[in-house]
Chains A and B, each alone.
Chain A
Amino acid sequence: MFDDIKTADMTYVGKKAGRPDMVEKLTGEAVFVSDMELPGMLHAQLKKSPHARARIKRIDASKAAAMPGVRAVVTGEELDYHIGLYIVDKFILAKGEVRHYGEAVAAVAAETLEQARAAVEAIEVEYEPLPPVLHHMDALKPDAPLVHPELGTYSYIEAVFTPKPGTNIANHTKLRKGDVDKGFEASEYIVEREYSCPSVQHVPMETHVAIVQWARGDRVSIWTSAQSPFTVRNLFCHAFGLPHINVRVQIPYVGGGFGGKAGIGIEPLCAVLSRKAGGKPVKFQASREEEFSLLPCRSALTYRIKTGVSADGRIQAQHMTMYWDSGAYADYAVNVTRASGFSASGPYEIPNAWVDAYTIYTNKPYGTAYRGFGHVEFHWAVERHMELIAQAIGMDPLEFRLRNALRPGSKTMTGETILPSTGNVVKCIEEAARMIGYGSLSADELRRQEKTGWKIGKGVAALQKAPAMPSFTATAVVLKMNEDGSVLVNLALTDYGQGTYASIRQIVAERLGFPIEKVKVAFENDTDRDPYDWQTVASKGLLLSGNAAILAAEDMLRNAYAVAAEALRANPRDLGHDGDRVFVKHHPASSVAFSAMAVGLAMPNGNGIGGPIIGVGRYIAQGLSNLDKNTGEGSPAIDWTYGAHGMIVEVNEATGEYRVLKVASVYDVGRAINPDIVRGQAIGGMIQGLGTAVCEGYIYDQQGRLLNPSFTDNKIPTAKDLPMEIECAVVETPQIDGPYGARGVGEHSMISVAPALGNAIQKATGAEIMHMPMRFEDVWRALTKKEPIDNWITKSPIGSCRSAPEARNRG
């Protein structure tokens, strides 16, 4: 969809444009599901497991059921529905056995929240605690307890995934390229290291919430804070065996998602309560603690990389083994594993590659998509590894990266050839380095170092990501013209904060040639009204829906021109238009207004022509294929967005404390449709990446209880944690099949922030950190050559955080 038009020659694309959701959100008028109440609505609360693994011997809910206001009580025993997208391995409520701390075993719906809480307290559950398997590396041992003994009976997408029944391996993704043995033989240096990171929480400010009404005739209405209305509907219908026509999913404003609200979540639970309560709507909103322990998180990762490098610093071979901790359920983690497997090297050319990526069940809260879809975690390893290889072979890390970076003509690990239009990672790396003055300290920096005694270091890290989605992912956009000639845009791609609707609006206005004020993108998505979209995930929204929007605009103009041609007795080829009317090019006074045609044109004698003007645009990913299950070869990527971060940090070598002085981020976005939104994504993701890099992570005790399911003990960055300086830039190598050349950047800003920081810390002090996050004590341990400690499954919770817990006292 790329027409070679310069940004300067366009009216809206690439220009400043406001977001269409601002007034509602700034006035408190925007309605989120949290804010909704329906007539007769009941409130749900859950009974949750205090054990990581236990057999449920008995549940007695009889007292709860008899309590005032209680309208429905359900336990896992009475529900026989499996839920899932990629591997269908989860019950709505635990059945027979609980598999993680905080898992729900029973649920209550009552007239008031207080009544529901009291009833949950009255439910008696007798457990037989079983030894949990907590660390994913322990779960691979032959004598490890099986988290899912029934793995062999689950349905899954067989063309893509490979579960190993009888083990805790939910999926094994393989990639084999070239001959790694020969590559290692040809290498002068071999560097082998292991890297890791713990599970973290997405922390959407609005916790998961849904209202479901299972009405008579099995007609189900769902209002949910979710990312993907059609996937919620599809998985819901599959789970309950309902016709799609019976189920309607509506999504109003959503308070953040970051992947945690992809797929399906708490909707089935509300549904079974509503059904049992005779069709009254049931609302459940997760508490913040439940958001940490009941709802999914990001998988932990252990990543071993062995790399062979020639004397001149070229990678000859790389052996990569990823161990992904899916937690108790692997529905989404299997696809994180797949997408990470084919991208596992980062943006570098690896002539001989061998990847084994495992998804491993453990008795912990389960992993799902989280901004970057595995790439934040494995780039931590890859980009620290590049730094450590460079050090081992005595080459500057920047030079080593540039020598091995993908360029036109390079082959990716899956065998794709990089084209000049694929994007320019070399330029991203070079610009990020330039923006931080890589390689030396300025006079100011030297003076600062002298004054503070803290060592200043500079590091870079590069990144790549393609959308992780089915090869046939599709979407559609429908434009409807209003009576005054303005245009309403309907799509089921959701905008839960990322700003895609602002960009879609610009694209539609640009292609129609209409003033942007005449274009409205409808918030509040609805499967009964909007055309299909697969999911709002993967940084694919702008590319796929942007293309569909262009096609819809062209269709709308074609339809309007057909009516105008008939009315004006002109050939459509001789017509032109502006924002108000269609006219005959060689006789501009002969024209007909869009407003006159919008709902059907009435001729002076009363005859009608045309009908309501609409435009339909459909787009499906093209040229993608499933990867060969034995070699990993194929075409998984509709586009690759490349980028790099440069980081300046100052470190107190005595204590391990550090401050980030500057972050410079560069992405090849193809074309920045809305520069302020690109910058918002760039900064927002980078700060989220710093949270992951600096302090966030799940901490468990030896029994698998989550010790820090709150903001008191699991800090996220605040305004006071901002780096002193932030600079964002884009390279614009147009994506030939992107809308006006654009490609996605929503997730990328979070990727490789951590290794850029780790590399800068290493440059400043020599500290070699392989485990994320890098808390001050972790840096201190590395500086004093103490063994890193596993703070993530520990008896003594000693995790601390950079953001001091001295929040303002507000009475």
Chain B
Amino acid sequence: MRIKLTVNGLAYERECAEHVTLLRFLREGLGLTGTKEGCGMGECGACTVILNGRAVNSCMVLAVEADGAVISTIEGEAQGPSLSDIQKAFEKHHAVQCGFCTPGMVMSVKELLADNGKPGVDEVKEAIEGNFCRCTGYVQIVEAVMDLTGRPGGKGELEHV
């Protein structure tokens, strides 16, 4: 069927088979490969995008369900040539290693901060609980968010003994 949707502020209209997931539609239909597939079963969060204001696993949404929706993906996150505040905080805190979970992680943080400008540490952990990261151990990600919002918990340093 034919669907219309807005992704990162741009309008798209495409033919789309009923069985195609939103994840596959974004990656293969629109060429937005920043959103990743880690498991295809809604467990790992690598495919997180924001659909009508809610963070969703795009591998668990059919593209046809997103007809008429407004979607944000990692490709729309930077502000023109410069990184967004979330991206800058991730960069400063080394909150990225292999980078495969990063787009979904940033989207989950974006949803959190849209609802709650000053989350506590436990709220940040809750918000990214559905985003698996095998590299970082999450700590520098949590620190990046806490630093960004000016709350305590945003500092962590290697000690020299």
Measuring CB to CB, which residues of chain A are less than 8 angstroms from any residue of chain B? 18-19, 21-32, 34-35, 202-207, 253-256, 258, 287-288, 427, 431, 496-499, 666, 672, 675-680, 682-688, 710-712, 716-720, 722, 726-732, 807-808, 810-811
Complexed CA–CA distance, A35 and B31 (Å): 9
A28 touches B74 (CB 8 A): yes
Give bound CA distance, A22 to B126, whole Å. Answer: 25
Query: Which 8 A-B residue pairs are closest in the complex by CB-CB distance?
Result: A28-B34, A497-B98, A25-B99, A255-B100, A687-B137, A711-B43, A28-B74, A497-B97
Contact A722 B139, beta carbon cutoff 8 Å: yes
**B142 adjacent to A719 (CB under 8 Å):** yes
Instruction: Return the CB mask of B129-161 against A: 1 if under 8 Å, else 0.
Output: 111111111111110000000000000111111
Report the Cα distance A662→B131, complex, angstroms. Answer: 23
Closest to A26 in B: B87
Cβ A205 vs Cβ B41 within 8 A: no
A717 CA to B125 CA, complexed, in Å: 12
- Count the B residues whose beta carbon is within 8 Å of the partner chain — how many? 68
Q: How many residue pairs at the A-B interface have CB separations less than 8 Å?
A: 214
B120 within 8 A of A: no
- Smallest distance from the beta carbon of A319 to chain B beta carbons, Å? 36
Please state if B99 and A253 are interface contacts (CB–CB under 8 Å): yes
The docked-state distance in angstroms from the alpha carbon of A717 to that of B60 is 22
User: Which residues of B16-56 have CB atoms within 8 Å of chain A's CB atoms?
Assistant: 27, 32-44, 46, 48, 51, 54-56
Given contacts A22-B96, A680-B140, contact A205 B60 (CB under 8 A): no
Report A-chain residues with C-beta under 8 Å of the C-beta of B54. Answer: 810-811
Q: Are B138 and A722 closer than 8 Å at their CB atoms? A: yes
Contacts of B41 in A (CB 8 A): 288, 710-712
Q: Is A729 a contact of B161 with CB atoms below 8 Å? A: yes
Residues in A with CB closer than 8 Å to B131 are 718-719
Q: List 26 A-B contacts (CB under 8 A).
A: A23-B91, A26-B74, A26-B83, A26-B91, A26-B99, A26-B102, A203-B132, A205-B36, A205-B133, A255-B98, A256-B134, A288-B39, A666-B161, A672-B160, A676-B158, A683-B139, A684-B97, A684-B135, A684-B136, A711-B39, A712-B43, A717-B137, A719-B129, A726-B156, A810-B54, A811-B54
- In the complex, what distance in Å separates the CA atom of A679 from the CA atom of B93? 11
Whether B34 contacts A29 by the Cβ 8 Å rule is yes
B85 to A: closest C-beta gap in Å: 12
Min distance, Cβ B74 to any Cβ of chain A, angstroms: 4
The answer to whether B137 and A688 have CB atoms under 8 Å apart is yes
Q: Which of A255, A716, A810 contacts B36 (CB 8 A)?
A: A255
Residues of A within 8 Å of B128, CB to CB, are 718-719
Known: A288-B39, A719-B131. 5 other contacts (CB 8 A): A22-B96, A25-B96, A26-B96, A679-B140, A811-B51
Q: Among B40, B56, B78, which residue has its beta carbon within 8 angstroms of that of A27?
A: B78
Select one of B44, B98, B106 contacting A254, CB under 8 A.
Answer: B98
Please give me the residue from chain B that is nearest to A204 by CB atom.
B134
Give Cα A97 to B78, complex, Å: 53
Given contacts A26-B83, A28-B32, A687-B137, are A710 and B39 in contact (CB under 8 A)?
Answer: yes
A91 CA to B113 CA, complexed, in Å: 51
A27 touches B74 (CB 8 A): yes
The CA of A258 and the CA of B134, in the complex, are separated in Å by 9
- If A718-B132, A722-B138, A731-B161 touch, whether A205 touches B101 (CB-CB below 8 Å) is yes
